[in-house]
Amino acid sequence: MNDLMDLHTHTIASGHAYSTLSENIRAAADAGLALYGCSDHAPKMAGTTHSSYFINFKVIPRVRGGVHVLMGAELNILDSSGAVDLPPSILGKLDYAIASLHTPCFVPGTMEENTQAYVNAMKNPAVTIIGHPDDGRYPVDYETFVKGAKTYKKLVEVNSSSLSPRSVRKGAAENYQVLLKYCREYQVPIIIGSDAHFESDVGNHRCAWELLERENFPEELIINTSVDKLKPYIPVLSELFPEE
């Protein structure tokens, strides 16, 4: 299947990633992607950049090396109310936003607390994707989670990095089996992200594709195969990829 995009990537601005934006875009071109998204960590993550980093994306070309470029952020969900660490004034300037749970910013709670954190973050109109909802340290009621994604029209990420043997997120494959069952049942689309922290991983979705093939997950619910599928979630794409 075609894999045209990678929207979960990090640059040196994230503090614990090791490639520049230009290096990542070049890697996206080498991987044959049509669409590259930068989602550096928002300010509450230790070592990442200041909020001012996210206000001047207008200077970045929309197309480089034949790759269309989107600029977003990976937000930290801070509590069970779904609060995130960039204000609406900045979120409104982004092309998209991923919202995720990270242990430095949210101490794992009960299944109910973790699920509430995700679902309440989904209520934020600036959030586009829920990132790596697969971490065994955060037990989640996946049926309630998927129903929330459907209600609030959010994309559910299948994070390829989580499925790597080197990942600190334990139990990801087993958690995705449950999550994908509900995504299929409730017809909720997923988007694959690399979570690249070095240029060579941009567009590297091998582990995610292997999982989706094992689970026989329907292609029509996989956003990566078509930019048109992504347009309802990221309005600027209709300008970048006008109808022929």
| Beta bridge mates, 72 | 96
Specify the pLDDT at position 90: 98
Specify the pLDDT at position 244: 44
Alpha-carbon distance of 67 to 156, in angstroms, equals 24
Specify the pLDDT at position 120: 98
CA angle 37, 65, 210 (to 5 degrees): 50
The CA–CA distances, whole Å, from 156 to 24, 26, 142 equal: 23, 26, 11
Query: What single DSSP character describes residue 138?
Result: S
Parallel, antiparallel, or unpaired: how do β-strands 67-76 and 63-64 relate? antiparallel
Specify the pLDDT at position 243: 74
Where do the H-state alpha helices sit in 39-188?
88-91, 111-122, 142-152, 172-186
Alpha-carbon distance of 220 to 235, in angstroms, equals 20
Per-position pLDDT tens, the chain of length 244: 799 999 999 999 999 999 999 999 999 999 999 999 999 999 999 999 999 999 999 999 999 999 999 999 999 999 999 999 999 999 999 999 999 999 999 999 999 999 999 999 999 999 999 999 999 999 999 999 999 999 999 999 999 999 999 999 989 999 999 999 999 999 999 999 999 999 999 999 999 999 999 999 999 999 999 999 999 999 999 999 987 4
Where do the H-state alpha helices sit in the chain?
21-30, 88-91, 111-122, 142-152, 172-186, 206-214, 227-230, 237-240
pTM for the model stands at: 0.98
